[in-house]
Structure 1
Amino acid sequence: MAVQEKTVTIGKLTWFYREAEPLNPREKPPVLLLHGLPAQSYSWRDVMKTLAENGFRAIAPDWPGFGYSDKPDRRDFAYTPDAYVTALEAFLDELQLSLVSMVAQGFVGSAGVQYALRHPDRVDRLAIFNAPVSKTAKLPWKMKQLGMPLMGQMMTQDPLLVDRTLEGGGGYRVEDGDLDVYRRPFLKSSDAGRSLFTIVQNLKVPAVAAEIEAGLAQWDNPLMLAWGDRDPWLPITDAEALAKSLSGAELVRLEETGHYPQEDWHEKVSDALNRFLRRQE
């Protein structure tokens, strides 16, 4: 099943996104897959193929400032969680996606969870993979230093930061051909590093995590927390504690995967998602 590469311009902002169309579509909402920091929609490439093979339309955008989407100046795009929630709403409106199943991973991917909690009428199901969902969540030093003045401005211009972060999140080696895709925006322009520096400065992890934890307590639609148990930054114990406090939440332990489970072991992520999306309520 081929994954197509597309762009859409909304106002002054051009989004890059990937889409996989099923041959035999189910009567189910499209699945929107959101990446974390410092990844791209490319991280969902294999999961998207499996979803399409199982009858689901799958769409994965590069967030503004990431991958192959626009990287506007901070004066034109605030790079705050609220700015990402607003931009995501405009993206869904432009693609006429009035109802989706939301899949969100990692820091920045958490903006998709915020969107779901603020617009529950537009999200049929919510799946969260290794994202800040508890007030105990903290930005790891490996990422925090990317937003520090001077040091962060230098570090974010180094394309190898992608290697160190993606591989540091789970301990697995990412293939060179895949790393080439992740590195390319940093090699092409300094805008990628400048955007990343600004993004890290504006993550507001404590406030975002508190909003998510409180909002999930009121969430009535199907919910899955799927966690790579080798995540060194957001431990599975936090997800387990949260799941116990939520009525009807499904917790899936993804053994031997890390912070980026879709990159570490996409088969396990695909299996968990297919079961969740096909489950009758």
Structure 2
Amino acid sequence: MATGDNWIEVGKLTWFYREALPLNSSDRVPVVLLHGIPAQSYSWREVLPALANQGFRAIAPDWIGSGFSEQPDRRDFAYTPEAFLQALESFLQAMGIERFALVVQGFVGSVGLQYALRHPEQIDRLAILNAPLSTAAKLPWKMRQLGIPLVGDMMTQDPLLIDRTLEGGGGYRVEDADLDIYRRPFLRSSDAGRSLLATIQNLQLKQVTAEIETGFQQWSQPILVAWGLRDPWLPLDMAKQFIHHLADAELVELEEVGHYPQEDWHEKVSAALLPFLRRQPR
């Protein structure tokens, strides 16, 4: 298995992505994993090799404005869901990814759900981990305050916001060595904080979740919803209501796991994902 950290120029934007490749060629579709906020692709660091060990090419990008991807000024990138959708489409095209399994988590990971609805022909199957699925979803205060003018400008320049948010999402302590990776973009440049501020200010959560809520009523591809039960922000009932009318959907409850399942307990995430990715559609 080969793994690596990579950058790719896509138009005027530079994406950073982590990739794990299987040792042998495989006819399995690639798997694209999208993180939430204020995280980065590093959160998938243990899941990527687990997928590659089972023959999947696994790719996890940092969203534009997050992690080690470019953090442009909002005059050059709008940080709206539409801007993220267009950027994601261009990234996938540049990577030569045409049909794939999609895994999404968290806020902004919800843009991945919009992408699936707008490009269903590309989606082999879809896995959702603790993402806003209905208009009942609310951005938690811990994140919402990061978008308040003046207050948010100061808070998003504090690298410790990563500690407070990631650990507040599940109650688990993140190891210092891992927090060092999460904090690094904020220590390197003030652009990271400004990008996070712009992302939160432009989430348009009501409009995005309305599209998700209505759009998936007609969805037919396989769906896995793997839900961390210790999520203080998004309740399990939201996941149950979401899959209620879906033709090919399963719900896996992840006990003792919070809002960031891949960070809290990656073994449980891989154990849920791998059988789903391998099985034949019903």
Matches within 5 A, 1:144-223: 144-223=144-223
Tell me by how many angstroms 1:247 deviates.
2.4
Q: Are the aligned partners of 1:134 and 1:239 in contact in 2 as well (CA < 8 Å)? A: no
Q: Which residue of 2 aligns with 1:237?
A: 237
Q: Is 1:95 matched up with 2:95?
A: yes
C-alpha distance in 2 between matches for 1:170 and 1:135: 22
Q: Are the aligned partners of 1:25 and 1:57 in contact in 2 as well (CA < 8 Å)? A: no
Q: Which residue of 1 aligns with 2:83?
A: 83
C-alpha distance in 2 between matches for 1:77 and 1:36: 18
Query: Which residue type is aligned with residue 235 of structure 1?
Result: P
C-alpha distance in 2 between matches for 1:75 and 1:130: 31
Give deviations 1:69-97, integer Å, cap 9, x for gaps. Answer: 00000010000011101100000000110
Q: Which residue of 2 aligns with 1:68?
A: 68
Q: Are the aligned partners of 2:73 and 2:195 in contact in 1 as well (CA < 8 Å)? A: yes
C-alpha distance in 1 between matches for 2:215 and 2:3: 33
C-alpha distance in 2 between matches for 1:56 and 1:246: 26
Q: Secondary structure at the match of 1:70?
A: coil
C-alpha distance in 2 between matches for 1:104 and 1:242: 15
Query: Which residue type is aligned with residue 36 of structure 2?
Result: G
Identity %: 66
C-alpha distance in 1 between matches for 2:52 and 2:249: 25
Tell me by how many angstroms 1:2 deviates.
4.6
Q: Are the aligned partners of 1:4 and 1:20 in contact in 2 as well (CA < 8 Å)? A: yes
Q: Secondary structure at the match of 2:46?
A: helix
My pick for the range that moved more, 227-236 or 238-247, is: 238-247
Q: Which residue of 2 aligns with 1:42?
A: 42
Give deviations 1:24-67, integer Å, cap 9, x for gaps. Answer: 34311100000000000000010001000111000000000000
My pick for the range that moved more, 246-255 or 192-201, is: 246-255
C-alpha distance in 1 between matches for 2:21 and 2:2: 8
Which 5+ residue runs of structure 1 have no aligned equivalent?
A: none
C-alpha distance in 1 between matches for 2:222 and 2:180: 37
C-alpha distance in 2 between matches for 1:58 and 1:208: 26
Q: Secondary structure at the match of 1:77?
A: coil
Q: Is 1:132 matched up with 2:132?
A: yes
Matches within 5 A, 1:4-43: 4-43=4-43
Tell me by how many angstroms 1:119 deviates.
0.2
C-alpha distance in 2 between matches for 1:245 and 1:197: 36
Q: Are the aligned partners of 1:25 and 1:56 in contact in 2 as well (CA < 8 Å)? A: no
Which 5+ residue runs of structure 2 have no aligned equivalent?
A: none
Query: Which residue type is aligned with residue 276 of structure 1?
Result: F
My pick for the range that moved more, 102-111 or 247-256, is: 247-256
C-alpha distance in 2 between matches for 1:61 and 1:147: 23
C-alpha distance in 2 between matches for 1:26 and 1:206: 40
Q: Is 1:225 matched up with 2:225?
A: yes
Query: Which residue type is aligned with residue 131 of structure 1?
Result: A
Q: Which residue of 1 aligns with 2:110?
A: 110
Query: Which residue type is aligned with residue 140 of structure 2?
Result: P
C-alpha distance in 2 between matches for 1:268 and 1:232: 19
Tell me by how many angstroms 1:237 deviates.
1.2
Q: Are the aligned partners of 1:3 and 1:45 in contact in 2 as well (CA < 8 Å)? A: no
Count of residues in Structure 1 that have an aligned counterpart in Structure 2: 281
Q: Which residue of 1 aligns with 2:3?
A: 3
TM-score (norm 1): 0.98
Runs of 4+ that moved beyond 6 A = none
Q: Are the aligned partners of 1:25 and 1:55 in contact in 2 as well (CA < 8 Å)? A: yes
Q: Are the aligned partners of 2:220 and 2:246 in contact in 1 as well (CA < 8 Å)? A: no
Query: Which residue type is aligned with residue 245 of structure 1?
Result: H
Q: Which residue of 2 aligns with 1:59?
A: 59
C-alpha distance in 2 between matches for 1:43 and 1:139: 20
TM-score (norm 2): 0.98
Tell me by how many angstroms 1:243 deviates.
1.5
Q: Secondary structure at the match of 1:165?
A: helix
C-alpha distance in 2 between matches for 1:223 and 1:7: 30
Q: Which residue of 1 aligns with 2:122?
A: 122
My pick for the range that moved more, 219-228 or 153-162, is: 219-228
Give deviations 1:113-153, integer Å, cap 9, x for gaps. Answer: 11011000011111111001112111010000000001011
